[in-house]
């Protein structure tokens, strides 16, 4: 309850500051619309915003799910196989040296303007934080637990399942939190590069038509979508991944 009250207070303060900036600077509405103008645009274009948000949200969740599955699988493989650590990990590090967002035009060229290119973009952006954080957690088994596994004669797979994975869950939660921050940015950039639907596409169309109030309204909805995703991931992490 206290956290919700703080969030409401922070939101009200931000809106008031925004309104004061518009009043004091006298900025025209096509440059910086006020909160009331954006609220009117939200109400006027509610159906359109809901439709476009639904498209972005579905791609966002599917891409995040794919990134989680691939990241967890990669981390488990690296932890279990010294050969994989020797050959696969340098490839992953090199791949991350190339900005993923710079690959957006190539991904769009290969997969088209529909949902698959957006899903792959989100998966690529979220994959590395999850794989890296989870792998680090798997490899940081306390010496006492490692000695216990050796004393009991547990093999690598049994040690991974019963000791390393439970110990690495908080690290996985950290990777998920980072991914929840990056994922909305990835889906919007994918829609900016090439799409006929989604919030990113709507923002570009509104900007091209001089509908700055609609562009800001789309941005507000995107911020709400991002916060909702982060809250969902935080709830899952606290419930299942935090000891």
Specify the 3-state DSSP secondary structure of 90.
helix
What is residue 4's predicted lDDT score, i.e. its pLDDT?
60
Structure tokens that stand for 231 in this block? 């809250």
What's the pLDDT score for residue 150?
66
Domain extent for 165: 35-241
CA–CA distance, 129 with 169 (Å, rounded to integer)? 14
Residue 10 lies in a domain: no
Helix, strand and coil percent figures for the chain, each rounded to 5:
85, 0, 15
Q: Which residue has the higher pLDDT, 87 or 73?
A: 73
pLDDT at 37: 92
Look at residue 46 and tell me if it is in a domain. yes
Average pLDDT score, the chain: 88
Q: Cα 68 vs. chain centroid, distance in angstroms?
A: 11
Q: Are 241 and 170 in contact (CB under 8 A)?
A: yes
Most confident of 55-69, 85-99, 181-195: 55-69
Question: Is the pLDDT confidence value at 103 over 70?
Answer: yes
What's the CA gap between 230 and 239, in Å, rounded? 14
Q: Which tokens in the block code for residue 39?
A: 């609220």
**Any idea which of 100-109, 196-205, 209-218 has the lowest mean pLDDT?**
100-109
Average pLDDT over residues 56-85: 93
- Is the pLDDT reported for residue 1 higher than 60? no
**Is residue 86 a part of any domain in this protein?**
yes
Other beta carbons within 10 angstroms of residue 239's beta carbon come to: 8
Confidence class for position 202, pLDDT limits 50, 70, 90: very high
What is the total count of domains within the chain? Answer: 1
Which of 95-99, 154-158, 162-166 is most confident?
Answer: 162-166
Question: How much is the pTM?
Answer: 0.89
Question: Per the domain annotation, does 21 fall within a domain?
Answer: no
Q: Is residue 2 assigned to a domain?
A: no
pLDDT above 90 (res 175): yes
The domain that contains 154 carries what CATH number?
A: 1.10.3720.10
138 belongs to a structural domain: yes
pLDDT at 158 over 60: yes
Read off the pLDDT band of 96 (50, 70, 90).
confident
Residue 209 lies in a domain: yes
Rounded percentage of the chain residues whose pLDDT exceeds 90: 56
Looking at 42-56, 80-94, 158-172, which range is the least confident one? 80-94
- In a domain? residue 18: no
Listing DSSP states for 164-226 in one string gives: IHHHHHHHHHHHHHHHHHHHHHHHHHHHHHS-SSSHHHHHHHHHHTT-HHHHHHHHHHHHHHH
């Amino acid at each position: 309850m206290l956290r919700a009250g703080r969030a409401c207070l922070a939101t009200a303060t931000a809106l008031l500051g925004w309104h004061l900036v518009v009043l004091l600077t006298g900025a025209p509405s096509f440059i910086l619309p006020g909160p009331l103008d954006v609220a009117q645009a939200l109400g006027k274009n509610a159906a359109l915003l809901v439709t476009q948000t639904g498209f972005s949200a579905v791609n966002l969740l599917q891409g995040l799910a794919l990134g989680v599955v691939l990241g967890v699988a990669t981390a488990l493989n690296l932890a279990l196989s010294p050969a994989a650590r020797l050959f696969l990990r340098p490839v992953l590090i090199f791949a991350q040296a190339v900005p993923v967002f710079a690959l957006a035009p190539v991904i769009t060229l290969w997969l088209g303007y529909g949902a698959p290119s957006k899903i792959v973009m989100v998966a690529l952006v979220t994959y590395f934080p999850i794989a890296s954080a989870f792998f680090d957690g798997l490899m940081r088994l306390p010496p006492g637990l490692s000695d216990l596994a050796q004393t009991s004669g547990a093999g690598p797979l049994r040690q991974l399942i019963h000791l390393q994975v439970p110990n690495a869950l908080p690290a996985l939660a950290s990777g998920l939190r980072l991914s929840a921050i990056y994922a909305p940015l990835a889906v919007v950039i994918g829609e900016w590069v090439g799409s006929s639907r989604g919030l990113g596409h709507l923002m570009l169309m509104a900007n091209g038509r001089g509908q700055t109030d609609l562009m800001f309204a789309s941005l507000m909805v995107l911020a709400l979508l991002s916060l909702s995703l982060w809250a969902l991931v935080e709830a899952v992490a606290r419930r299942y991944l935090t000891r």
